[in-house]
């Protein structure tokens, strides 16, 4: 018996890396899995191989149930097809894990609008479309007195929480996903849906190119960057057991897990009237002196 027995789970970008690890982990806990992947290259411009089919084969070999889906999750109709494929094949939908992503890394002064649009579309629109399609289904089920324990698990990043040099497009998209997640968490509880996000650090096509030494597999001992280390928290968040947790961001790496705390209101200084520009230098300096030191942007140390 697993903690996701009988649950139907969609995972986007599940052909490789983190998504593949999540798909296998959900299947090991009894879930029926829709493995969504276009087989795209890291920059999203070409297609290479059939990784989704390979993951489905692995799940079936371990006695699980899974299907391939090749829809573009950043396309509204494609996202609808994805959700409908889960319902048609397995009779419903319980969890959506949005993992798909691409990178077009470039220093901001050299970044093109096409590089911006491509990354924002896959990450941010590619989160909105499948989640919105799933919520439409869960809302209809709740109205018909068949409320499901809906779970949304999105994928943000340390880049989205702290920033990352040469990744303004990626960082903005991942920050948007973090805000998206806490916002829908506040709205969807009334229909039994929770929403949480992860900011993982693990070996993937994205991280191997950017941080080859850090991501290298050790010759022996615990492989801290194995993407499978991230999947347990994703599976738990996607299970019925996590119903009391929503709107939270989990940073995870190796065996380490923490809850990231977002923007908080600072202690205000109130003049009781409009400030003069010339007054604000000292006021701002005093406010900054009392404020927590920001976490450094990745790549600046």
Which residues carry out catalysis?
157, 170, 174
CB atoms within 10 A of CB 111: 17
Q: Helical H runs in the chain? A: 17-28, 51-61, 76-90, 113-120, 126-143, 158-162, 168-188, 205-210, 212-215, 231-237, 280-290
Q: Which of 56, 49, 47, 53 is nearest to 23 (CA)?
A: 56
CA distances from 128 to 39, 153, 183, 184, 289 (A): 20, 12, 12, 10, 38
- Distance, in Å, from the CA atom of 139 to the CA atom of 77, rounded to the nearest integer, reads 19
**Does residue 32 sit in helix, strand or coil?**
strand
Give backbone dihedrals phi and psi of 214, rounded to 5 degrees, phi first: -65, -35
Beta bridge partners of 151: 95, 194
Burial 165-189 (b: 16+ CB within 10 A, else e): ebbbbbbbbbbbbbebbbebbeebe
CA distances from 188 to 2, 17, 131 (A): 26, 30, 11
Q: Which of 225, 198, 206, 229 is nearest to 214 (CA)?
A: 225
Q: Which of 168, 18, 192, 43 is nearest to 103 (CA)?
A: 43
Q: Name the CA radius of gyration of the chain, rounded.
A: 21
């Amino acid at each position: 018996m697993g903690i996701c027995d009988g649950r139907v789970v969609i995972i986007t970008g599940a052909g490789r890396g983190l998504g593949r690890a999540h798909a296998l982990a959900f299947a090991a806990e009894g879930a029926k899995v829709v493995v969504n992947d276009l087989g795209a290259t890291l920059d999203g411009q070409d297609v290479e191989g059939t990784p989704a089919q390979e993951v489905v084969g692995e799940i079936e070999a371990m006695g699980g149930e899974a299907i391939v889906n090749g829809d573009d999750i950043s396309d509204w109709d494609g996202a609808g097809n994805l959700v409908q494929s889960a319902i048609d094949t397995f009779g419903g939908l319980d969890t959506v894990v949005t993992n798909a992503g691409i990178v077009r890394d470039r220093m901001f002064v050299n970044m093109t609008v096409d590089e911006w649009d491509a990354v924002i579309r896959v990450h941010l629109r590619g989160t909105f479309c499948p989640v919105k399609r799933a919520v439409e289904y869960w809302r209809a089920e709740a109205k018909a007195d068949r409320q499901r324990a809906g779970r949304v698990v999105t994928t943000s990043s340390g880049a989205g929480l702290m920033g990352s040099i040469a990744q303004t497009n990626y960082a903005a998209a991942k920050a948007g996903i973090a805000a998206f997640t806490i916002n829908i968490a506040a709205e969807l509880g009334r229909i039994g849906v929770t929403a949480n996000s992860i900011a993982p650090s693990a070996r993937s096509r994205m991280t191997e190119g950017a941080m080859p030494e850090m991501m290298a597999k050790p010759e022996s001992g615990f492989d801290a960057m194995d993407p499978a280390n991230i999947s347990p928290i994703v599976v738990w968040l996607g299970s019925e057991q996590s119903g009391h947790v929503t709107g939270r961001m989990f940073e995870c790496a190796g065996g380490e897990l923490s809850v990231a705390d977002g923007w908080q209101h600072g202690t205000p200084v109130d003049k009781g009237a409009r400030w003069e520009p010339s007054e604000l230098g000292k006021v701002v300096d005093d406010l900054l002196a009392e404020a927590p030191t920001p976490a450094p942007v990745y790549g600046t140390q």
